[in-house]
Structure 1
């Protein structure tokens, strides 16, 4: 029997199994997160690099919801041939356990009377299993986006209704549904500590709104999969513009707020993710030749290294930061944290030690990302 050799086009298709735009966006978000979230507080403040205190939105605010939207995109691509519930349930349990371990390291405590039970990894676990349940029955991108808009609108109505009795007629740190619902479910001592336990940015209440981001992301992923011939970049660009416009409209009634994940905030992140996916898809995926075979290869390699180990780097940077803050050494006769020692050393050769400290963290995690990518070591949960 004559053996048929694959054509050049078939070889290229085989090589392009991964959706580069997804890895590229994930890489951009994680690299940006490493730099921004590791800039220490000091003499100089960088308000645009810090989280908004309550209402408003900054650059770092948009990182987590974009990451969660990307989570939805990756689910659509990973589960295109169906899901195995046993595997999903095991993954959910692992995320919850890892989330508690993560909290123990970051908060540097073993006090189980006050340890926080909620968190980003726990949110991923909850959102993942709910999204799988919904998408078992709904796969249409249009219907998924309609459900996402419904979820966001219902959540917005709830926030507005409960906020009528608050100062200014809008939810406040001590006057919001999270303060009531999350404290009732988990106990006030187990909630987000930095908000004086008045709200939980990764609690059940905010998870309802974050679900819209995962569903939007899943819809974007389905668009990418079902528009292989023509490319989904036009649809994604139009959807991104529409969602950003809707977020501006919502902002007039219920302003951007990361702590409560208001509809304006959720829609802005989803719109940003769709727009970025559109641009990156056009650059890296909608090409006759593999992006790795062009002048874009260094960019692809850098962002792919971050993107394919996003969980390791995104959560690892917080754990490393906690270790550097809580471990001390005697330096110049004074006991100082490792973080302070490094910061003071950096200050000896730059007038911007805080930014340089963030840059050092970026360099460290870039080396980790490159080594892992070179050896094909990827942390999967």
Structure 2
């Protein structure tokens, strides 16, 4: 047998091996998170769509969930900002795992976190001053607060759930203690609806003014714990192997957060405007519960087609936020003459609903145009 024939025979009998790619943790997008983000952003685009239904015998309950409570308690609208901040945290383990896979060092990732925080602050300040007569820099808009919490959360990203839990506890307990033990509390105590607390004192010292509605800029501190709780959920989901078990864990964690927040509320009331620790836990419970529902439907059951309208918005959340804040008033003004032709048929109750729904539909159409061309705005 010739040498070439022997080589061919050896090749026919040699076992075939396939190269095995190195096993790495998944870095793909979490579709259920995009869909949940889409629901929240679509809610913001709809704005006060149901305000005019107050007092309606059938649909009046919708108006109560379409604006913030005056002080204590929480409705759906009070959970919008916590959900947005929580989802920022959920996305961080996926985003930074992708950066690490590309070879980014910790220093490079930290630089990205700082740049992103700076861009969020800049966008927030610009949106604050659309139509404003003078410049008043503040820190209660969601983008500025996300920027602060984003940097705090980055410092514990990748740490163990135990370490992250201890950081969350330290932030909330420390904030609680600071709020209760200080010389600026008025006669009504730390939870009174007034500008007599440490948060209002800090705002006046820093800015020379108080925010309307008794909001305080210091709520960026406890809301950073909300982002970290999102990071914890994101790490758990990303590291999970059993989809059903992951969904069940999220469900139990969500119910536990709601129960804990309610249990604390008789002593430490649920107040979103100053972001009390009980509210932080309660809101994180609801957002985790919602994430569990989306995760179960999309990741576990594989039901994805229904979520397409939400994905169009959720995958372009920055664009949706800017469109909603910068162009809502302009759109309603530009279309008022045409929409008001429907006033005799709709009446004063349903006309504002239709007007806001038209703007939300127009915004969604723009986002669909971006989606089909794979144009996604990021900071």
Alpha-carbon distance change, 184 to 285 in structure 1, aligned in 2, over 3 angstroms:
same
Q: How many angstroms apart in 2 are the aligned matches of 1:99 and 1:362?
A: 21
- TM-score normalised by L of structure 1: 0.80
Alpha-carbon distance change, 77 to 342 in structure 1, aligned in 2, over 3 angstroms:
farther
- TM-score normalised by L of structure 2: 0.81
Cα displacement string for residues 218-265 of structure 1 (whole angstroms, at most 9, x for unaligned residues) = 000010011134552121111111111111012111222221111222
Consecutive unaligned residues in structure 2, runs of 5 or more: 1-10
Contact 1:27–1:310, Cα closer than 8 Å, also in 2 = yes
Q: How many angstroms apart in 1 are the aligned matches of 2:112 and 2:170?
A: 29
Alpha-carbon distance change, 264 to 209 in structure 1, aligned in 2, over 3 angstroms:
same
Aligned length: 345
Consecutive unaligned residues in structure 1, runs of 5 or more: 326-336
TM alignment of 1:1-381, pairs within 5 A: 17-38=28-49, 46-80=63-97, 81=100, 83=106, 84-105=109-130, 108-112=131-135, 114-116=136-138, 118-135=140-157, 139-161=159-181, 165-167=186-188, 170-188=191-209, 192=211, 194-195=212-213, 198-200=214-216, 203=217, 205-230=218-243, 231-287=245-301, 291=302, 296-324=303-331, 337-338=333-334, 341=337, 344-351=340-347, 352-381=350-379
Contact 1:39–1:358, Cα closer than 8 Å, also in 2 = no
Q: How many angstroms apart in 2 are the aligned matches of 1:142 and 1:357?
A: 48
Contact 1:144–1:219, Cα closer than 8 Å, also in 2 = yes
Q: How many angstroms apart in 2 are the aligned matches of 1:265 and 1:280?
A: 23
> What's the Cα RMSD here?
3.1
Cα displacement string for residues 178-235 of structure 1 (whole angstroms, at most 9, x for unaligned residues) = 21112212332xx53x33xx533xx2x1001101100100000010011134552121
Deviation at 1:70, TM superposition (A): 0.6
Deviation at 1:25, TM superposition (A): 1.1
Contact 1:31–1:362, Cα closer than 8 Å, also in 2 = yes
Contact 1:56–1:256, Cα closer than 8 Å, also in 2 = yes
Q: How many angstroms apart in 2 are the aligned matches of 1:359 and 1:129?
A: 36
Q: How many angstroms apart in 1 are the aligned matches of 2:321 and 2:90?
A: 18
Contact 2:149–2:225, Cα closer than 8 Å, also in 1 = no
Query: Rg bigger for which structure?
Result: 2
Q: How many angstroms apart in 1 are the aligned matches of 2:85 and 2:47?
A: 18
